[in-house]
Structure 1
Amino acid sequence: MALVTTTEMFKKAYDGGYAIGAFNVNNMEIVQGITEACKEENSPVILQVSKGARSYASHTYLMKLVEAAVMDCPDIPIALHLDHGPDFETCKSCIDGGFTSVMIDASSRPFEENIEITKQVVDYAHKYGVVVEAELGTLAGIEDDVVVSAEDSSYTRPEEVEEFVRRTGCDSLAIAIGTSHGAFKFKPGTKPQLRFDVLRECEKKLPGFPIVLHGASSVPQEYVHMINTYGGAMKDAIGVPEDQLREAARSAVCKINIDSDLRLAMTGSVRKHLVECPADFDPRQYLKPARANIKELVRHKIVNVLGCSGKAL
């Protein structure tokens, strides 16, 4: 099976009351861990690449890793998505370079400017059969080059979504309902709570239209504890409760982005191995268990959070 777009994925997810996991990839072990889990769970998947990942690994290496995953998982629908494309040029480069989906993130711009930039990307992408995700509202937190303070974040205004989608022609819409980027999403002592009222209003304005949640890592405390036990310093790392993400996946939310959880699983495993086996110096010795941890994390998300196990066909 060749790379696919998210169009059919999202239609089935919307009708079926589940979401597709969009997992950020940076290297071979992460790609393998994700896709091996999807193969075992017979789950569709979105592999997404940020601008930072392209700078780190290069477009060519990432494309070849994803092509290898497609060959290794011929029965699993895999989409390749640009995460947080900052401008038209970056989106165009990914469209020309074989991506099947791109996100243009002009959410920090004024409403009219966001529409103008998003429509420019949509017009170009649709000529080549590539789908486009856009964003309204601004998430707090840090993810690669995306840095937004809590003061500058804002919830999506439901009264704007219908006009935005109609005028841009985008294929899916990322909204801000209280998720945030990074591993430190909420202040210690507070009870994380997503704004389901905003989500429901957006659903009413856009019936049948796929919604996306960014910044949706749950920051598993076992990996935070593992990192801290073996020399790390991640005090007060708090994520989005998984039961709230599962509730969102039953609604119009068809794509849930997960990045920090993968980083935590890999980093915790590597730290643990190097402390417990100080004589090891072969990267395969510590990357193999790290890859296995990513695989188990993704399997857990597929089954218990996203609800997309067995949905590959």
Structure 2
Amino acid sequence: MTLVKTRDLMNRALERGVGQAAFNIVHLETLEGLVGGAEAAGLPVILQISENCANFHGGLEPLASAAMAAARQASVPVSIHLDHAESEELALEAIGLGFGSVMYDGAHLPYDLNVAATRRVTEHAHKAGVYVEAELGKVGGKDGAHAPGARTDPCEAAAFVAATGVDALAVAVGSSHAMTERKAVLDLPLIARLKSALDVPLVLHGSSGVADDAIVAAIGSGMTKINVSTHLNGFFTRAVRDYLAANPAVVDSRKYVKAGREALVPEVSRLLALFARAT
């Protein structure tokens, strides 16, 4: 297998009525752990690089190049996705770099400006065969940029998709970004109404705060793409802390980041299998 288009993975998940996992890369070690987990599960994965992550690394291209190289060498299908790009320029850069998909996040803009900007990104992306995700309804959390408790209106969502031409829509249904406890309560009836109202796949952001059974129920109600970041970051960080506590004299950083990388593999594999068998 090799680097594939996000559209192919999303269509596969839709046809099978299962969830497609999308996990965020933070640095090279998480990239390697995520690919290792997908290979252990024998399942496809979407790897995501956020605008925040690109800014942390001083630019998008270096980490993107590493991700694409890892995808090409993987034994399972892997696609590369730009997550939460509030910058149109960054979205266009990702398209030019060969990303399989981009998420343009215009949720911070007034509705009309969000529609116009999202449409511009979508038109450019589609010329290059790139899949586009957008957001409507302000998923909670994430540095105060999104309002907790927000919900996506199905009628507005249908109008937004029609006006922008996007391929997938992230919707607000009760989850919130950066949660460290898995106690979010999802609005399953709203997910079902959104699924009925739209002809594009639904995306669940903030899934780190959602328990396994609730994610499975959300997939059964109509969610397709399931984004997870903070939950996996916790596994990596706890493993590093444990290694350093047990080995206080260590100075070779490879030893403790290896512990973090290895801690990702079983949980990534477990989540991929959980989402893939959900109905």
Fold in common (TM above 0.5): yes
Is the Cα–Cα contact under 8 Å of residues 141 and 185 in structure 1 kept in the other structure?
Answer: no
Q: How do 1:118-197 and structure 2 match up within 5 A? A: 118-142=118-142, 147-150=145-148, 154-184=150-180, 192-197=184-189
Aligned to 1:87: 87
Structure 1 CA distance for aligned equivalents of residues 210 and 192 of structure 2? 18
> Given the alignment of the two structures, is residue 307 of structure 1 paired with residue 279 of structure 2, yes or no?
no
Is the Cα–Cα contact under 8 Å of residues 134 and 170 in structure 1 kept in the other structure?
Answer: yes
> Given the alignment of the two structures, is residue 214 of structure 1 paired with residue 209 of structure 2, yes or no?
no
- What secondary structure, in the 3-state scheme, does the structure 1 residue paired with 2:226 have? strand
Alignment partner of 2:231 out of 254, 261, 269: 261
Aligned to 1:61: 62
Structure 2 CA distance for aligned equivalents of residues 268 and 185 of structure 1? 15
Is the Cα–Cα contact under 8 Å of residues 44 and 78 in structure 1 kept in the other structure?
Answer: yes
Aligned to 2:36: 36
Is the Cα–Cα contact under 8 Å of residues 104 and 118 in structure 2 kept in the other structure?
Answer: yes
Normalising by structure 2, report the TM-score.
0.93
Deviations 1:64-117 (Å, cap 9, x if unpaired)? Answer: 3213312321x4221111100103111111111221200011123232222111
Look up the equivalent residue of 2:261 and give its one-letter code. R
Question: In structure 2, do the counterparts of structure 1 residues 156 and 308 end up closer, same or farther at CA, with 3 Å as the change threshold?
Answer: same
Structure 2 CA distance for aligned equivalents of residues 39 and 175 of structure 1? 29
Is the Cα–Cα contact under 8 Å of residues 186 and 218 in structure 2 kept in the other structure?
Answer: no
Structure 1 CA distance for aligned equivalents of residues 164 and 181 of structure 2? 30
Is the Cα–Cα contact under 8 Å of residues 249 and 307 in structure 1 kept in the other structure?
Answer: no
- What secondary structure, in the 3-state scheme, does the structure 2 residue paired with 1:102 have? strand
Aligned to 2:245: 275
| RMSD across aligned positions (CA) | 1.9
Alignment partner of 1:244 out of 214, 229, 235: 214
Aligned to 2:259: 289
Q: How many residues align?
A: 277
Aligned to 2:52: 52
Aligned to 2:22: 22
Aligned to 1:204: 196
Is the Cα–Cα contact under 8 Å of residues 178 and 194 in structure 1 kept in the other structure?
Answer: yes
Look up the equivalent residue of 2:18 and give its one-letter code. Y
Same amino acid, percent of matched pairs: 34
Aligned to 2:107: 107
Q: Which has the higher helix share?
A: 2
Is the Cα–Cα contact under 8 Å of residues 26 and 56 in structure 1 kept in the other structure?
Answer: no
Is the Cα–Cα contact under 8 Å of residues 43 and 273 in structure 2 kept in the other structure?
Answer: no
Look up the equivalent residue of 2:197 and give its one-letter code. K
Gaps of 5+ in 2: none
Aligned to 1:70: 71
Is the Cα–Cα contact under 8 Å of residues 155 and 176 in structure 1 kept in the other structure?
Answer: yes
Q: Which runs of 4+ in 1 moved over 4 A?
A: none
Structure 2 CA distance for aligned equivalents of residues 173 and 79 of structure 1? 18
Gaps of 5+ in 1: 218-238
- What secondary structure, in the 3-state scheme, does the structure 2 residue paired with 1:148 have? coil
Normalising by structure 1, report the TM-score.
0.83
- What secondary structure, in the 3-state scheme, does the structure 2 residue paired with 1:122 have? helix
Deviations 1:230-276 (Å, cap 9, x if unpaired)? Answer: xxxxxxxxx21110101222343121111101211111111111111
Is the Cα–Cα contact under 8 Å of residues 173 and 212 in structure 1 kept in the other structure?
Answer: yes
Question: In structure 2, do the counterparts of structure 1 residues 243 and 214 end up closer, same or farther at CA, with 3 Å as the change threshold?
Answer: same
Structure 1 CA distance for aligned equivalents of residues 43 and 276 of structure 2? 9
Look up the equivalent residue of 2:240 and give its one-letter code. V
Structure 2 CA distance for aligned equivalents of residues 71 and 136 of structure 1? 33
Look up the equivalent residue of 2:66 and give its one-letter code. L
